[in-house]
Chains A and B, each alone.
Chain A
C-alpha cells in the first residue's frame, strides 16, 4: 500500500463512523416535527447564536476557571497528603478505613452540605470540585509512594540523597505515573461536579444556563448546551492526554525499552 492510500485509509477509519453517525442524525432529524428532537441543522445554528458571544465570557469561562481552580487545589492537596500517608505505615493503617469511607461517599451529595457552609457562590462550587477530585489523586498517590522501587530507595540512601531532593527525584518521580492516572480520573469527576454544582443552585455558569433552557422549554438551545458540554469533555480529555504525554514521556519511553522493540 502506498503512503497516500494508507493515509486515506486511516482517515476513513478515524472519521468514517463519526461522520456517518452525524449524517444519520442530520438526515433522520431533518424534517423532525417532534418538539423534543429538533433538526440537527437547527441545533447547530442555535449553537452559534447562543454560545458565541457574551455567554462564552459570562457563563462558560467562569465555569472552566472554577473547574481548573478546584482541580489544581485537589491535586496539590491530594499529592501532599498522599505523600505523607504513603510514607508512613502506621498512618496508612490508621487512616485507611476513614479514607475508604470518605471516598465512597458519592461526591454530588456533598453539594447540599457545601451550600449550607458556603452559600451558592464560587467558593461552594470550588469546594465541591475539590472534595470530589481529591480522592482518586490522594489514593493513587498513596499507592504510588508505597510501591516505589526498593533498589532506588537504597541507592538514594547510599548516596545520601535526602530531604527535598529525595522527595523530588525519588518519591514524586516514582509515584508520578499513578498520580497522573489519579488526575485523569479526577478530571472527569471534576467536570461532572462543575455541572452539578451549577445545576443544583447557582445564578450563572454552564450547568445553570442549560437547566434554565430546559425549564423554559428552549429545546434547541438546550440541545446546543448538551453538545457544548460534550465538546468540553472531549477537549479537556485531549488536553489532558497532551499533558500526560509530556509529563510522563520518560515513563512511556522506559516502558517501550523494557518491552523491547516490537
Chain B
C-alpha cells in the first residue's frame, strides 16, 4: 500500500517533468515556431518577471475578490432559496420548469447587459459569477432536500419538532453534503466566469492582463499568466476539497475514506 502510493507519486512527478521538458524541447527543436509557443524556460522567466511586478499582484487580488464575493453571494442565495423551494412541495412543483429553463441559459449571454449596466465595474464581473455559480448550488441543495429520509422526517414530526428545528436537525444534515458538492462545482465555475469577465469585458484582473499581453505581443508573459490562472484553478479545487473533508468529517463517506 505504502510502496504503491510512493510509486504513484513518483510517476506523477515524472509525468509533470516530462510535460515541462516536452514544452521546452518542441519549440527549441523548431517543431512549433517559438512565437506561438515559447519554451518552458522563457515562460518561467516571464512568470518570475510578473511575480516581481506590483501590477500583477493587484490583478491577482482583483480576480480573487470577484471570485470570492460572487461565490459567497451565490452560495448564500442558492442555499437559502434551495431550502425554501425544496421544503415547500407546492413551490417546488411550480418552480421546477422555470429552473429547468433558466439553468441552461449560458451566463455569457449576460455579458452585453453587464457592460451596459455596469461598464467594467466589479459589479459586471459579479453579475456573471453569481449567475453562473448560483445554479450549481441551487440544484444540488434541491436534490439534497429531496433526499431527506421520510422516516427521520416523520419521527421529528411526531416528536413535535417545529419547522425550524426540523430544518436544522433533519433537513440540513442531509442537505449539507449536496450543498458542499454544489460549492465545489460553483467555486470552479466562479473562477472561470471571473476570468472570462475580465478577458471579454475588461474588468481589472488576470483576464484583462492576458488580453493586454496578447494585443501587445508579449507572448511569454501571456503564457505565464495563463499558467497562473491554471494554478489558481488547481488551488481552488484543492481548497474546495479540503473544505469538503473538514465540513463533512462526521459523514460516513468521509469516515470510510479515512479508514481505508
Is there an interface contact between B112 and A93, defined as CB atoms closer than 8 Å? no
Interface of A is mostly: helix
Interface residues of A in 89-120 (CB under 8 A from B): 90, 93-98, 100-113, 115-117
A203 within 8 A of B: no
Cα–Cα distance between A110 and B230 once the two chains are bound (Å) = 11
CB closest chain-A residue, reference B12: A97
Contact of B106 among A98, A109, A192, A222 (CB under 8 A): A192
B115 within 8 A of A: yes
Cα–Cα distance between A14 and B92 once the two chains are bound (Å) = 11
B117 within 8 A of A: yes
A243 within 8 A of B: no
Interface residues of A in 120-160 (CB under 8 A from B): none
Cα–Cα distance between A15 and B96 once the two chains are bound (Å) = 10
Contact of A94 among B14, B226, B237 (CB under 8 A): B14
Contact of B230 among A21, A105, A214, A232 (CB under 8 A): A105
Cα–Cα distance between A41 and B191 once the two chains are bound (Å) = 36
Is there an interface contact between B105 and A229, defined as CB atoms closer than 8 Å? yes
B234 within 8 A of A: yes
A213 within 8 A of B: yes
A80 within 8 A of B: no
Number of interchain pairs (Cβ within 8 Å): 157
Using Cβ atoms and an 8 Å threshold, which residues of chain B touch A236? 104
Using Cβ atoms and an 8 Å threshold, which residues of chain B touch A113? 222-223, 226
Cα–Cα distance between A207 and B113 once the two chains are bound (Å) = 13
Decide yes or no: A93 and B11 within 8 Å by CB, A98-B16, A98-B19, A102-B230 being known contacts.
yes
Contact of B195 among A95, A108, A115 (CB under 8 A): A108
**Selected interface stretch from B72-80, B156-164, B207-215, B251-259:** B207-215
Using Cβ atoms and an 8 Å threshold, which residues of chain B touch A233? 104-106, 109
Is there an interface contact between B104 and A108, defined as CB atoms closer than 8 Å? no
A68 within 8 A of B: no
A179 within 8 A of B: no
Is there an interface contact between A105 and B233, defined as CB atoms closer than 8 Å? yes
Is there an interface contact between A90 and B11, defined as CB atoms closer than 8 Å? yes
**Selected interface stretch from A54-62, A71-79, A194-202, A253-261:** A194-202
B93 within 8 A of A: yes
Is there an interface contact between B12 and A188, defined as CB atoms closer than 8 Å? no
Using Cβ atoms and an 8 Å threshold, which residues of chain A touch B234? 100-101, 104
Interface residues of A in 182-241 (CB under 8 A from B): 188, 191-192, 195-196, 199-200, 207, 210-211, 213-214, 219, 222-223, 225-226, 229-230, 232-234, 236-237
A-side residues, CB < 8 A to B, are 13-18, 21, 36, 90, 93-98, 100-113, 115-117, 188, 191-192, 195-196, 199-200, 207, 210-211, 213-214, 219, 222-223, 225-226, 229-230, 232-234, 236-237
Pairs A–B under 8 Å by Cβ, sample size 5? A90-B11, A96-B15, A188-B106, A225-B112, A229-B108
